[in-house]
Amino acid sequence: MKIVVLAGGISTEREVSITSGTMVCKALREKGHQAVLVDVYCGVQGMPGNTVRTAETGEKVEAQSNSHTEGKEAADIWSAQRYDVDEAAAYMRGFNDKIPEMKKVRRQFFGPGVLELCQEAELVFMALHGEDGEGGTVQAFFDLMGIRYTGSGHLGSAVAMDKGLSRKLFAQDGIPTAKGIVLSRTQERLPALENGVGLPCVVKPCCGGSSVGVAIVHTQQEYSEALEMAFGYEEEVVVEQYIEGREFSVGVVEGKAYPVIEIAPLVGFYDYTNKYQAGSTIETCPAQLDEQTTARMQRYAEMAYHALKLQCYARMDFMMGKDGDLYCLEANTLPGMTPTSLLPQEAAALGMSFADLCELLIEVSMKHQS
């Protein structure tokens, strides 16, 4: 099957996305698919238009060329005698430092050759992370273009990306979640002890991911600083009650919960560094919980999946307080996809290899797309 593994983008999770895309593309090629790794924003390697001029100096912004695709049209990638996924990833990373300049002079989101290649493909495997790929806009565009893709549709993706809206839907469907509020940039900011949440609390951007911009605060000064940091990313911020306890995650595929995994950071909380730095967390799957608690968490995960109108697959994050109460924090519609990511670890607990999981997600998505 001809598959575009779409990664990269311009969100704070660009590097995470490239890593996921690389691993997925390799796995799919091992399965015999004609899979190619493509940067949604920077475009297909070798396509005209992969350079832009900076706003200030007019200097060209470009990545280092990739020998096996230099000068080729998009369609030639499918028939390339030699395709090196690592070289494709290196090409994408060559743009990392140039993204800010590119954003100043470019209005369109899709890079050169991307849409043409996606239309030629039988499926697009969404390895995007953050608002770029999880916010629903790419999915909506693909729906209009008749392009098949993996994961949830535009509605579920948009709803799940908005943590404030997700909280309301969780409460509406009887899914326990931490007490919290949503603040806009222009809204009056009450002191932490007067905002209805209190201290300690968690401050995070409303639509961010990978714990970027998230802070646990214990004092009014920390609260003010955390708000400024979070508003540096977005116009809305979620302030939630801090739940001291254990952190878990539950994957859901086709509405069915996978084994529960526990995440125990060696230092601090499960922030960006702990998520992606090897050896910084202890992850246990299946989690060491009694059957009743496991079943309850899995049931809440399935309820959250349906409450947010998700499709195909997702991953739900939970906290368990010291009193044993469970709290559903948020949903991830395009969870990390490396062999050591949480969802693949849960699949491994069921005896499923990473490549087999990638294949399953394709099968599930194709069924929904048709």
| pLDDT value at residue 99 | 93
| pLDDT value at residue 40 | 97
DSSP secondary structure string, 48-94? TT--EE-TTT--EE-PPP-TTTTT--GGGGGG-S---HHHHHHHHHT
Angstrom distance (rounded) from CA 156 to CA 158:
6
Mean pLDDT of 211-234: 92
Is pLDDT at 55 greater than 50 in this prediction? no
For 243-279, the pLDDT digits (tens) are 999 999 999 999 999 999 999 988 655 444 444 455 6
Mean pLDDT lowest among 13-22, 157-166, 272-281? 272-281
| pLDDT value at residue 279 | 60
| pLDDT value at residue 77 | 86
Non-local (6+) Cβ contacts of 368 within 8 A are 153, 311, 312
Non-local (6+) Cβ contacts of 196 within 8 A are 179, 181
Buried b (16+ CB within 10 A) or exposed e, 150-159: bbbbbbbbbb
| pLDDT value at residue 212 | 73
| pLDDT value at residue 362 | 98
| pLDDT value at residue 69 | 43
Angstrom distance (rounded) from CA 163 to CA 308:
11
Going along the chain from its start, the domains and CATH numbers come out as 2-149 (3.40.50.20), 179-241 (3.30.1490.20), 245-352 (3.30.470.20)
The most confident of 19-33, 76-90, 129-143, by mean pLDDT: 19-33
Element (H, E) at 6: strand 2-7
Q: What is the mean pLDDT of the chain?
A: 89
| pLDDT value at residue 322 | 96
Is pLDDT at 5 greater than 50 in this prediction? yes
Mean pLDDT of 111-125: 97
Angstrom distance (rounded) from CA 251 to CA 314:
6
Q: Are 63 and 98 in contact (CB under 8 A)?
A: yes
Is pLDDT at 70 greater than 90 in this prediction? no
Q: Are 163 and 225 in contact (CB under 8 A)?
A: no
Q: For the chain, what percent of residues have pLDDT higher than 70?
A: 87
> Does pTM top 0.85 for this prediction?
yes
DSSP secondary structure string, 137-156? HHHHHHHHHT--BSS--HHH
Mean pLDDT lowest among 53-62, 172-181, 342-351? 53-62
More confident residue, 49 or 243: 243
Cis peptide before 265 (omega within 30 of 0): no
